[in-house]
A and B are shown apart, each in its own frame.
Chain A
Amino acid sequence: MVKKSAMALLAGLVIFGFSIQPALATYKVGAIFSVTGGASFLGDPEKKTAQMVVDQINRDGGINGEKIELIVYDDETDPTKCNLHAKKLISQDKVVAVIGPSVSGLSVAIIPVFEKFKTPLVSCAASYKIVYNEKTGKPNKWVFKTPQSDSLAVEAIYTKMQSMGIHKIAILTVTDGYGASGRHELLRLAQAYKMDIVADEKYDPKDADMTAQLTKIKGLAPQAIVNWSVGPTQVTVLRNWRDLGMTPITFFQSHGFGSRKNIELAAGAAEGVFCPLGACNIADLLPEDHPQKQVTMAYQKSYTETYNEPLSSFGGHAWDAIQLVVDALKAVGGDRAKIRDYLENKKGFIGQHGVFNFSPEDHNGLTKEAFQMVVVKDGDWALAK
């Protein structure tokens, strides 16, 4: 009897626990971001940005008179949840396109879903694997991405190093997807740029101190250190670098360092640090005639006004993704296949992180010019000469 009622109770819970359906809208756009969990530093600004952009468009009358409804799910940096949300957005919410996820691993995880259900996905994660199918050697048909590939950031750093006469370097990466992807590219491109990597050290995303790794590097006396991480560790590592008296070794951060908040948290230790950044981080430094000047200034203004917090470069990826989808909706309406075809041939789209030129061979559409090399000077960004 006990078991029977337990099963009945379970059945009841399963059937009646459904959610309330949201109100109907003409254009439904899905979004999956890692709003909480290990990658919330990505998903949080992305969600806020996408929501802000959609609200602005709806306030201004929508697309050709039709409103957009943005359905956001939080994958909590968990591939299982991400997969479930993707299928739900496509088959139940019937969205015309999806933006996100925030993390490369999760984006790769749900590619098969979008290929199978023939729905466009504009990912906000960096890995080239998202838009490159190793079996066919071509991009995945339905998948696009807005962030610059990590290879572009590495090329920007290595190019800068060459001009400074640096060839003996140490790399430090965090042991999560972000660090692993950067490390992969740093190692892969080292030979082409004649970089001699003398140390390849790692640390955990929750580590309190990286003195041990840096001390090891100090003993090998490289000319520069490249650090690839996000979150508190990228600040701690800078402080350790300064405290150990290693400032004569030039320090390069990845583009993940792209928030003024990090300079502030480093408490002076960020001085002289180089870092490749997308245009949206340094909107106010761009010359007036820069093609992205206008969009980046506008984004910076509305984001800081709406949320009262400094801009992070990751939010810009979501801006690019949602605006691309909006652009497609304006041009071809809410048909999934037409949106895909439109995106694939979109040229000269001016975004936060570069000017995008998509093609059937390139579903990212950016070049290494999408990064500007920036140096921290007097507690703020300055364009590196």
Chain B
Amino acid sequence: METISAASQLFQFIVTGLTVGAIYAMVAIGFNIIYNVTEIINLAQGEFVMLGGLIMVFMHVTVGLPMILAFVTAVLLVTLTGMLLDRLAIKPIRQPSVMTLIIATIAASIVIKGTAMLIWGKSPYDLPAFSGRTPIELGGVIIQPQYLWVIGFLVVVTIGLTLFFNRTILGKAMAACADNPDAARLVGINVQYMVLLSFALSAAIGAIAGMTLTPIALMDYDRGAMLAIKGFGAAILGGLGSFSGAVLGGLLIGLIESLGAGFLLSGYKDAYALIVLLLVLFLRPSGIMGNFEVTKFKRF
């Protein structure tokens, strides 16, 4: 085995960091979609990722559906879970204070996680990589094909959402709810429907993150909380509500973790990302791309 040069080592850290960061970014985007319409931070977002992975494994490996079909059914089922979450746990709350809503999403995440444990047990599950496991070598840097799928899906999701919010009537209506729910109601937008839609959309994106992650890291029922915290961190770092901020925040956290593990003490790698996050917040209290004036108008 030839030794690896310092430059390829650096690139290897960057490639890995970007891949893991892309997962965080997708979770952060999910946070933002719901936040923009409802001002809720949905701490059950990580459970969508876990469910996406496990349902895909079930559909593809256990039931034996072809990859694409399994992918579609898993997205649909998780989307349905997201809609149920809104209808059963969020909408019935009569006096929705911010703290109550946070607790409600935590409660929902506990129920989802517990149900997943009852269905799948505690052991991890594997999913075949989407296009094989033969690594690609580029100048000493090793890239797993699945890395490309993860980053590719992040690009597709970002472009898709940008088009949706800017070009379609439905997307524009959702954006209007985000800006001013009362005004949106006045012009005849069904705000409750938009809230439901936001849960559906962010559940679907969470599911995609989970399905692309599983071939790399396996999946078990207990993975959601960690992903939710990382994704929440990414959303805050980038600035709540900003999609480009979410992508930037996610990739940054992934990169800092990977470079921190590579060059500094790996035991502290999670701390490095969080220290950077705190420093950014102390300098820019609304994150990198967030607008402080806008946050002032938010109830929370």
The residues of A with any CB-CB pair to B shorter than 8 Å are 36, 38, 40-41, 44, 175, 201-204, 206-209, 211-213, 215-216, 218-219, 221, 231-232, 235-236, 239, 243-249, 261, 265, 267
Contacts and interface: CB of A to CB of B under 8 A. Distances in A.
B154 to A, nearest CB: 14
Given A40-B122, A203-B266, A243-B142, A213 B261 contact: yes
B261 A201 contact: yes
Nearest to B16: A211
Given A44-B122, A265-B218, A203 B142 contact: no
Contact of A236 (B218, B259, B267): B218
B133 A212 contact: no
Given A212-B258, A219-B3, A265-B218, A202 B267 contact: yes
Contacts of B219: 232
Contacts of B142: 211, 243-245
A216 B1 contact: no
A201 B266 contact: yes
Contacts of A245: 1, 135, 137, 142
Interface centre among A203, A243, A245, A267 (most CB of B within 10 A): A243
Interface in B43-97: none
Interface in B100-152: 117, 122-124, 126, 128, 133, 135, 137, 142, 144
A273 to B, nearest CB: 16
B12 A211 contact: yes
B264 to A, nearest CB: 10
A383 B75 CA distance: 45
B39 interface: no
A265 B16 contact: no
Interface in B187-214: 213
Given A40-B122, A201-B261, A212-B269, 8 more contacts: A211-B15, A211-B16, A215-B16, A216-B261, A218-B9, A232-B219, A239-B133, A244-B135
A201 B269 CA distance: 11
Given A218-B4, A267-B133, A208 B267 contact: no
B183 interface: no
28 contacts: A38-B222, A40-B122, A44-B122, A175-B267, A202-B265, A202-B267, A204-B226, A208-B23, A208-B213, A209-B217, A211-B15, A211-B16, A212-B16, A212-B266, A215-B12, A216-B261, A218-B4, A219-B6, A232-B219, A235-B126, A236-B217, A236-B218, A244-B12, A244-B135, A245-B1, A245-B135, A246-B1, A265-B218
A231 B222 CA distance: 11
Contacts of A207: 217
B218 A235 contact: yes
A232 B220 CA distance: 8
A206 B46 CA distance: 13
Nearest to B126: A265
The 10 A-B pairs with the shortest beta carbon distances in the complex, nearest first, are A208-B217, A232-B124, A202-B267, A248-B1, A212-B261, A232-B218, A211-B16, A206-B226, A212-B258, A215-B12
Nearest to A244: B142
B216 interface: yes
B17 interface: yes
Contacts of A44: 122
A257 to B, nearest CB: 13
Nearest to B137: A245
Interface in B258-287: 258-259, 261-263, 265-267, 269-270
A211 B117 CA distance: 29
Contacts of B218: 232, 235-236, 265
Contacts of A248: 1
Contacts of B222: 38, 206
B36 interface: no
B10 to A, nearest CB: 9
Interface string B221-238: 011001000000000000
A209 B16 contact: yes
A248 B3 CA distance: 11
A74 to B, nearest CB: 12
Nearest to B10: A215
A219 B9 contact: yes
Contact of A215 (B13, B23, B128, B220): B13
Contacts of A209: 16, 19-20, 216-217
Nearest to B268: A202
A2 B222 CA distance: 40
Contact of B217 (A38, A216, A232, A243): A232
A105 B282 CA distance: 37
Interface centre among A40, A221, A248, A261 (most CB of B within 10 A): A40
A204 B270 contact: yes
Nearest to B143: A243
